[in-house]
Amino acid sequence: MKKYLILAASTLLLAACSEKPGYEITGSVSNADLNGQYVYLYEYGVKDAVPLDSALVQNGAFVLKGSQNSPALRTLRFSEEAVEPARVAPGENAPFMATFVLENGKLTVTLDSTSTVSGTPENDAQKELQGKIKGLRSGIDKLIADMKSGDEKLIEQAEAKYDEIDQKITEAVVNYILAHTDKQTAAKNLYDFRYNIGEDQQNEIISKADSTFKAVPGISYMIDHLNVLKKVAVGQKFTDFEMPDAKGEMHKLSEYVGNGKVVLIDFWASWCPPCRAEMPNLVKTYKQYKNKGFDIVGISLDSKADAWAKGVKDLDITWTQLSDLKGWQNGGAALYGVNSIPHTLLVDKDGTIIAKNLHGQDLEDKIKEVLK
């Protein structure tokens, strides 16, 4: 009898050892209209990806089970016919959609106007960060309304508060990333907030990141971009290129830069509202300093010649303008790592880059300083 008990125990032990560890996703969906719809599991960051799995939503709930060899970023979402895609601020999940780390264990997903995932340490930490971001943004709608009010004092106050909130959010995100440079959620946050986090801080993060972090979609692009920016950083010589003017005549940047004048290289486009808003300041600055050793070279990211020409005329731009009419594929923009506009570089008389992205009074103050 003892022999059979030993054999039975051994069989149970073998069975237990042969079971693969797995995950179980227990999901809830707040919108009753989505009952009877399938929610799909996708690999994160892969365009036109085929669903890895799916589950039917019944009575506001669904379950997904499987096994994951190593943690990986995944996205849960409905078809576009069931839930129309929506753009959201960085750090937020779109309505009824969630990006999370899929790993073995019990995960809880809530698909709602604000979706969350919890159940493992990394997903719990990301959920906590998202809650912090949501709390900081709680009064943003009123601030946006105030900025459209037409009341100058109210607009000024709202803009200052908005910038303060934006800075606090960025600080929270950077702190999270630096504390998790071996985590995929941190890498996703870096990519999502790439326009908010400064170049120096991005370089610091990348220098501390491990291979798992760097393998997340979008990070290799950021690394390449940072390497380009190092070549055109403050203190480096400007990078030359050739581009046509509005008449189709080719010109090298070196015809205007590095020849004894302080030059502002201005990447802009006629379709860019912030560029147009800044242009009166540039017109004023150009008129004031053009005969004192200052010049501007505009590099337009337009793709239509007529729109470019109209923009130049309407905005009273009288300085040199160059464009290959390739929009965001502009050859000069690629060499200077431009991924948002307006983007400016101030270059000293000998061709050394001395400042970046100065506007308004800050630009004028710098020009005064270097023209002494």
Domains and CATH numbers, the chain: 20-116 (2.60.40.10), 139-231 (no CATH), 242-370 (3.40.30.10)
SS3 call for 273: helix
| pLDDT grade for 23, boundaries at 50, 70 and 90 | very high
Q: What phi and psi values does residue 292 have, to the nearest 5 degrees?
A: -120, 20
Q: What phi and psi values does residue 49 have, to the nearest 5 degrees?
A: -70, 150
40 forms beta bridges with 54, 77
Q: What is the pLDDT at residue 15?
A: 45
Let me know if 225 is exposed, middle or buried by CB neighbors in 10 A (0-12, 13-18, 19+).
middle
H runs (alpha helix) in the chain: 2-18, 121-136, 140-147, 152-179, 184-192, 199-208, 211-214, 219-231, 273-289, 305-314, 331-335, 360-370
Question: DSSP state, 352?
Answer: B
Q: At what angle do helices 184-192 and 121-136 cross, to 10 degrees?
A: 30
CA separation for the pair 301, 324 (Å, rounded): 8
Question: DSSP state, 218?
Answer: T
What is the CA 197 to chain-centroid distance, rounded? 9
Are 105 and 120 in contact by the 8 Å Cβ rule? The answer is yes
Type of residue numbered 235? G
CA separation for the pair 74, 214 (Å, rounded): 16
Q: What is the pLDDT at residue 7?
A: 47
Q: What is the pLDDT at residue 19?
A: 59
Type of residue numbered 189? N
E-only strand ranges, 57-147: 61-66, 72-78, 97-102, 105-111, 116-118
| pLDDT grade for 354, boundaries at 50, 70 and 90 | very high
Place of tokens 């399938």: 38
Higher per-residue confidence, 169 vs 151: 169
pLDDT > 70? residue 13: no
For the chain, first and last CA: distance in Å?
102
pLDDT > 70? residue 126: yes
CA separation for the pair 37, 39 (Å, rounded): 7
Among 17-31, 153-167, 202-216, 345-359, name the one with the lowest average pLDDT. Answer: 17-31
Mean pLDDT of the chain: 92
pLDDT > 60? residue 349: yes
Stretch (H or E) spanning 300 = strand 294-300
Higher per-residue confidence, 6 vs 103: 103
Place of tokens 């970046």: 356
Pairing of strands 320-322, 343-347: unpaired
Among 12-16, 36-40, 107-111, name the one with the lowest average pLDDT. Answer: 12-16
